[in-house]
Amino acid sequence: MSPMVKRKGEKFTLPSKYLLFILTILCTAMMLFTFATDFFDKPFNSIVGYVLVPFEKGIGKAGSWFSGRKDELVQIRSLLQENAALKEEVARLTEENTLLQQDKYELNKLRQLFELDEQYEEYHKVGARIISRDSGNWYSAFIIDKGSDDGLKEDMNVIAGGGLVGRISAVGPNWARVTAIISDNANVSGMTLATEDNMIVTGSLKGMNEGVIYFSKLVDSKGVVQAGDKIVTSDVSDKFLPGILIGYVLTITPDNNNLTKSGTLIPAVDFEHLSEVLVILDQKQIIEEN
């Protein structure tokens, strides 16, 4: 039997050293053939072209896509941060604008009170802020933040806006209750500023729903009182100082007795929006008869 070939039954075997020698010769021959010719170049290039190029293109596209998403995420993060900063800025500016509007409102109120103070400069006055009011749409009765400690007393007159608000009806150490002239059954002795004809002005919350209060017992013998005339407190009022504006005539109707007239007034004060008032410290002097 040949030393190179051994048979074990039907199985053919080749010694390892001979197999290694044959493979070495084949590899060396293939290397020499490859260097000497371009026989394997085209098939190999074709394989590379069909396999590696699409793979490289896919990797390139994937890289571009991930790079784009990264840039987008960076931009989104930047936009979110910018948006948060803008929201904070808007909130700050809104707060500043609200404060400025409040300051403007307070300034306008103070300016009105200052002008009213000058209008009735013959009287001593103290400013007060409304801290509560009765239920309803109108400031018919309310509490102010000044009281007897500030020199306030019952029946002192209260003014605001364009004229008469009412009078103090109760006083505490640091508070006072004001009853307005629009309250039901509140009566004020008034007169026309132009003719000095007297009348009785009566409050009415029902009438205030139409923006008016009522007057009666007007003696207008000459028939000169007309819509738009100013009505002020009269000299004969027992609780109100004279010459304080009450309102303006809206309508006039002759009474059944043909001697007096009645009608409606538009109040000089906006009784739906009040926040600050002036309290006149001077009181009507009543002469008591012995």
Is the pLDDT assigned to residue 190 strictly greater than 70? yes
Which whole-number Å values give the CA distances from 165 to 40, 176, 180, 243, 281, in the listed order?
113, 14, 5, 13, 14
Residue 221's pLDDT is what?
A: 81
DSSP the chain: --SS-EEETTEEE--HHHHHHHHHHHHHHHHHHHHH--TTHHHHHHHHHHHHHHHHHHHHHHHHHHHHHHHHHHHHHHHHHHHHHHHHHHHHHHHHHHHHHHHHHHHHHHHHHHHHHHHTTTS-EEEEEEEEE-SSSS-SEEEES--GGGT--TT-EEEETTEEEEEEEEE-SS-EEEEETTSTT-EEEEEETTT--EEEEE--HHHHTTT-EEEEEE--TT----TT-EEEE-TT-SSS-TT-EEEEEEEEEE-TTSS-EEEEEEESS-TTS--EEEEE---PPPPPP-
Encode 268-279 in three state secondary structure.
Answer: CCCCCCCCEEEE
Query: pLDDT confidence of 29, banded at 50, 70, 90?
Result: confident
Query: pLDDT confidence of 268, banded at 50, 70, 90?
Result: very high
Residue 52's pLDDT is what?
A: 55
User: How many CA atoms are closer than 13 Å to the CA of 144, on its beta-carbon side?
Assistant: 35
Q: Which two tokens stand for residue 139?
A: 């400031």
Average pLDDT over every residue of 83-94: 82
Residue 1's pLDDT is what?
A: 46
- Per-residue pLDDT tens digits for 221-245: 888 999 999 999 999 988 999 999 9
CA distance 235 to 251: 24
Residue 145's pLDDT is what?
A: 94
- Per cent of the chain over pLDDT 70 is 75
**CA nearest neighbour of 207 among 230, 184, 188:** 184
* CA end-to-end distance (rounded Å), the chain: 170
Residue 290's pLDDT is what?
A: 47
Which of the residue ranges 41-45, 118-122, 185-189 has the most confident prediction, judged by mean pLDDT? 185-189
CB of 88 within 8 A of CB of 80? no
Residue 51's pLDDT is what?
A: 58
Residue 96's pLDDT is what?
A: 73
CA distance 274 to 142: 10
Query: pLDDT confidence of 80, banded at 50, 70, 90?
Result: confident
Mean of pLDDT over the chain: 82
Query: pLDDT confidence of 64, banded at 50, 70, 90?
Result: confident
User: How many CA atoms are closer than 13 Å to the CA of 237, on its beta-carbon side?
Assistant: 28
Residue 22's pLDDT is what?
A: 80
Average pLDDT over every residue of 244-254: 95
CB of 147 within 8 A of CB of 128? no
Average pLDDT over every residue of 34-45: 58
Is the pLDDT assigned to residue 55 strictly greater than 60? no
Which whole-number Å values give the CA distances from 190 to 61, 207, 216, in the listed order?
93, 18, 10
**Residue type at 100?**
L
- Per cent of the chain over pLDDT 90 is 46
CB of 265 within 8 A of CB of 228? no
Is the pLDDT assigned to residue 119 strictly greater than 60? yes
Is the pLDDT assigned to residue 49 strictly greater than 70? no
